[in-house]
């Protein structure tokens, strides 16, 4: 038998390559952004009057950075979304631009089975139990995922990802990009991309969700992002970072930007998975299962939780007590950080904050910056289950569904009915939170199940509690096919390499021999290829052979549709 006798021709012709949606337009203000409050995020320096920014979802999936199963339930249909704060671009989802100082019901959310909310730089995203994503608000970089840059005054379904079930969405403190994780652990991204924060290998915005091909074959379990960089954890205890890195916020030991995911080897492996992630404007914090947390990047306000003002280019342990505490959730504003430490009594935990505090965003009753983590005393008696950070405000959620915000309130984003800052935890009374006082915004008191904090706005998902897994404790359930897909064209544990058109395809003899008789005869028979570690496949296209192996490994072919790892791992 000759190798060329093996017929690898797949039925039908290969579709034309899917055009990459990219944006080469430059942002209005150049490459860097000052720390000054009055300066706006780079892509929003047009006619706007203020300088919003934000860090919403906590670094855990149920609350902000971990994928999970969002199977529909009758309880989900009872959930409602309420929004508060700035509304310059319709980010509150009401079809207008009037800001709200009290929680206001988003009519669109009724009956939609909303299971997650996320908030970024003047835009909002919602995820349904069916895996659909709806966005509204500012969209000049395509962060709403609609295929263009038109403003989005009403919640509208994201395009180009109907073939997948999205199980988690994330955007944070002023981010103008959106991360989406699917039920099989794949990562998609869209929006602003001046520093490679989308992970696509090059700069240029993506106006619709696009697969991060460099992570194809990995199962993404947690994600976090800020305006210029993103962080991803996988089920193999690997941590990848990409985007801007001028202060070492990627944790790679240098200051070079990365446009593609790069592993942070200092925190990878070792059998300790990541339990929480968060990104600020120029810093990153990571907690590990079993206890302890690390920070890297800028530390001028103490936002990475250690003494001194010098940036850390590599992961460094946070100060006590977070150097050994069991952290179940992390969130970050532009220059401040919040950590939720597990309670010894099982339910919820206590909140520690550190970093910049000029608006009281640390919740300590004063406005002094803090370089060491300090307990937020005003809610120390509450069982907190989630924390979210906006630009300069923080929102905490208790096990009873009560919301306690603190910090900046210039657009009413704290939901207290005024615009006065709150240096101590306040209480959002308008929703009642499982027993507190009703309010004009809610016909019936409801507990809150999730919070998100955006630029200068806040989003509340009210109704029955979410499944425990939504808290970020577990990645999406793996299947045999999804696990084998991770091994496709993966050099790890590969024992045979096929060469096509000068490019390598990494494979595993035992899988091929169990699934393909012609290749089994070649690899385990009298042919010379049985003794070779590298086998040349002539007269076949790299993409076609890789798609063929994808079918061998998974009983599915996505590669020829532009969804697979074409170009990944080889060459």
Q: Which residues contact 258 (CB under 8 A, 6 or more apart)?
A: 196, 241, 242, 243, 245, 250, 252
Are both 510 and 399 inside the same structural domain? no
Could you give the CA distance from residue 409 to residue 335 in angstroms, rounded to a whole number? 16
Are both 255 and 328 inside the same structural domain? yes
Q: What is the DSSP pairing of strand 496-500 with strand 503-507?
A: antiparallel
SS3 sequence of 451-464:
EEECCCEEEEEECC
Are both 504 and 546 inside the same structural domain? yes
Q: Is residue 36 part of a domain?
A: no
Under 8 Å between Cβ of 174 and 39: no
What's 529's domain CATH number?
3.30.710.10
Could you give the CA distance from residue 256 to residue 270 in angstroms, rounded to a whole number? 26
Are both 339 and 376 inside the same structural domain? yes
pLDDT score recorded for residue 399: 93
Residue the block writes with tokens 């929680």:
103
pLDDT score recorded for residue 444: 56
Region for 526 from its dihedrals, namely left if φ exceeds 0, alpha if ψ lies in -120 to 50, beta otherwise: alpha
CB count, 10 Å around CB of 327?
26
Are both 211 and 357 inside the same structural domain? yes
Could you give the CA distance from residue 523 to residue 375 in angstroms, rounded to a whole number? 61
pLDDT score recorded for residue 51: 27
Q: Is residue 33 part of a domain?
A: no
What's 107's domain CATH number?
2.130.10.30
What residues make up the domain containing 226?
80-430+445-462
Q: Is residue 284 part of a domain?
A: yes
SS3 sequence of 466-477:
CCHHHHCCCCCC
Could you give the CA distance from residue 537 to residue 523 in angstroms, rounded to a whole number? 13
| Number of domains the chain is built from | 2
List the pLDDT tens digit at each of the 571 positions of the chain. Answer: 333 333 443 333 333 332 332 333 333 333 333 343 333 333 333 333 332 222 233 333 333 355 543 433 445 558 999 999 999 999 999 999 999 999 999 999 999 999 999 999 999 999 999 999 999 999 999 999 999 999 999 999 999 898 899 999 999 888 999 999 999 899 999 999 999 999 999 999 999 999 999 998 889 999 999 999 999 999 888 999 999 999 999 999 999 999 999 999 988 666 678 999 999 999 999 999 889 999 999 999 999 999 999 999 999 999 999 999 999 999 999 999 999 999 877 678 999 999 999 999 999 999 999 999 999 999 999 999 999 999 999 999 999 999 999 999 999 999 999 999 999 999 998 775 433 333 444 445 689 999 999 999 999 999 988 864 443 334 455 677 767 776 777 776 788 899 988 888 888 988 988 988 888 888 887 777 777 878 898 988 888 888 888 888 888 776 554 444 443 333 3
Q: Is residue 516 part of a domain?
A: yes
Token pair listed for 438: 């009703």
Could you give the CA distance from residue 414 to residue 101 in angstroms, rounded to a whole number? 8
Angle between helices 480-487 and 542-554 (to 10 degrees): 150
Are both 513 and 458 inside the same structural domain? no
Are both 456 and 511 inside the same structural domain? no
Q: Which of 207, 20, 92 is nearest to 455 (CA)?
A: 92
CA 340 from centroid of its chain's CA atoms: 18
Q: What φ, ψ does residue 484 adopt, rounded to 5°?
A: -70, -30
Q: How far is CA 15 from CA 368, 474, 540, 548, 563, in A?
A: 59, 37, 16, 15, 12
CB count, 10 Å around CB of 174?
30
Under 8 Å between Cβ of 369 and 356: yes
Are both 517 and 390 inside the same structural domain? no
Q: Is the pTM of this model over 0.85?
A: no
Taking every pair of C-alpha atoms in the chain, what is the biggest distance, in angstroms? 81
- Per DSSP, which regions of 436-557 are E strands? 448-453, 457-462, 496-500, 503-507, 534-536
Q: Is residue 272 part of a domain?
A: yes
pLDDT score recorded for residue 60: 31
Q: Is residue 436 part of a domain?
A: no
Are both 410 and 536 inside the same structural domain? no
pLDDT score recorded for residue 477: 55
CA 440 from centroid of its chain's CA atoms: 33
- Per DSSP, which regions of 321-410 are E strands? 327-332, 336-342, 349-355, 370-375, 384-390, 393-398, 403-407
Q: Is residue 27 part of a domain?
A: no
pLDDT score recorded for residue 208: 97
3-state SS class at 292: coil
Are both 364 and 319 inside the same structural domain? yes
Are both 390 and 360 inside the same structural domain? yes
Q: Which DSSP category does 122 fall into? A: S
Q: How far is CA 92 from CA 96, 119, 174, 279, 345, in A?
A: 8, 10, 15, 23, 37
The answer, yes or no, to whether the previous bond of 321 is cis (omega within 30 of 0) is yes
Could you give the CA distance from residue 225 to residue 192 in angstroms, rounded to a whole number? 12
Are both 136 and 207 inside the same structural domain? yes
Q: Which of 312, 290, 317 is nearest to 372 (CA)?
A: 317
Under 8 Å between Cβ of 183 and 191: no
Q: Is residue 59 part of a domain?
A: no
């Amino acid at each position: 038998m000759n190798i060329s006798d093996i017929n690898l021709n797949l039925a039908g012709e290969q579709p034309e390559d899917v055009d990459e949606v990219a944006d080469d337009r430059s942002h209005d203000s150049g490459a860097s952004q000052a720390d000054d409050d009055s300066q706006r995020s780079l892509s929003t320096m047009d006619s706007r009057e203020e300088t919003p920014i934000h860090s919403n979802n906590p670094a855990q999936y149920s609350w902000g950075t971990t994928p999970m199963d969002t199977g529909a339930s009758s309880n989900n249909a009872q959930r409602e979304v309420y929004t508060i704060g700035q509304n310059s671009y319709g980010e509150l989802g009401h079809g207008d631009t009037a800001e709200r100082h009290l929680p206001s019901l988003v009519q669109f959310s009724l009956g939609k089975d909303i299971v997650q909310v996320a908030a970024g730089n003047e835009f909002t995203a919602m995820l349904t139990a069916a895996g659909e994503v709806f966005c509204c608000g500012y969209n000049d970089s395509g962060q709403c995922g609609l295929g263009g840059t038109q403003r989005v005054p009403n919640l509208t379904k994201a395009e180009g990802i109907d073939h997948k079930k999205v199980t988690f969405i994330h955007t944070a403190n002023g981010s103008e990009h959106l991360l989406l994780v699917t039920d099989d652990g794949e990562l998609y991204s869209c929006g602003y991309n001046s520093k490679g924060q989308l992970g696509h290998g090059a700069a240029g915005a993506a106006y619709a969700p696009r697969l991060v091909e460099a992570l194809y074959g990995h199962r993404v379990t947690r994600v976090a992002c800020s305006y210029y960089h993103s962080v991803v954890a996988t089920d193999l205890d690997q941590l990848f970072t990409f985007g801007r890195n001028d202060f070492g916020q990627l944790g790679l030991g240098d200051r070079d930007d990365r446009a593609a995911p790069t592993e942070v080897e200092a925190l990878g492996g070792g059998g300790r998975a990541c339990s929480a992630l968060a990104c600020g404007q120029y810093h990153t914090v990571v907690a590990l299962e079993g206890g302890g947390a690390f920070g890297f990047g800028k530390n001028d306000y103490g936002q990475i939780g250690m003494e001194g003002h010098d940036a850390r280019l590599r992961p460094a342990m946070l100060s006590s007590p977070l150097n050994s505490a069991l952290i179940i959730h992390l969130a970050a504003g532009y220059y401040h950080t919040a950590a939720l430490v597990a309670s010894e009594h099982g339910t919820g935990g206590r909140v520690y904050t550190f970093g910049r505090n000029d608006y009281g965003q640390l919740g300590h009753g004063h406005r002094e910056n803090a370089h060491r983590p300090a307990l937020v005393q005003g809610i120390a008696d509450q069982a907190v289950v989630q924390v979210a950070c906006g630009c300069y405000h923080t929102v905490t959620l208790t096990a009873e569904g009560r919301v306690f915000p603190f910090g900046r309130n210039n657009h009413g984003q704290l939901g207290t009915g005024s615009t006065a800052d709150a240096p101590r935890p306040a209480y959002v009374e308008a929703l009642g939170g499982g027993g507190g006082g009703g309010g004009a915004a809610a016909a019936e008191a409801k507990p809150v199940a999730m919070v998100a904090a955006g630029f200068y706005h806040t989003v509340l998902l009210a109704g029955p509690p979410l499944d425990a897994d939504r808290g970020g404790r577990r990645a999406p359930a793996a299947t045999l096919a999804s696990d084998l897909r991770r091994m496709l064209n993966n050099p790890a544990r590969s024992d045979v390499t096929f060469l096509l058109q000068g490019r390598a395809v990494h494979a595993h003899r035992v899988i091929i021999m169990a699934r393909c008789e012609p290749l089994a005869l070649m690899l385990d028979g009298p042919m010379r290829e049985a003794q070779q570690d590298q086998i040349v496949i002539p007269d076949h296209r790299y993409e076609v052979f890789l798609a063929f192996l994808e079918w061998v490994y998974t009983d599915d072919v996505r590669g020829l549709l532009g969804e697979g790892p074409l170009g990944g791992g080889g060459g």
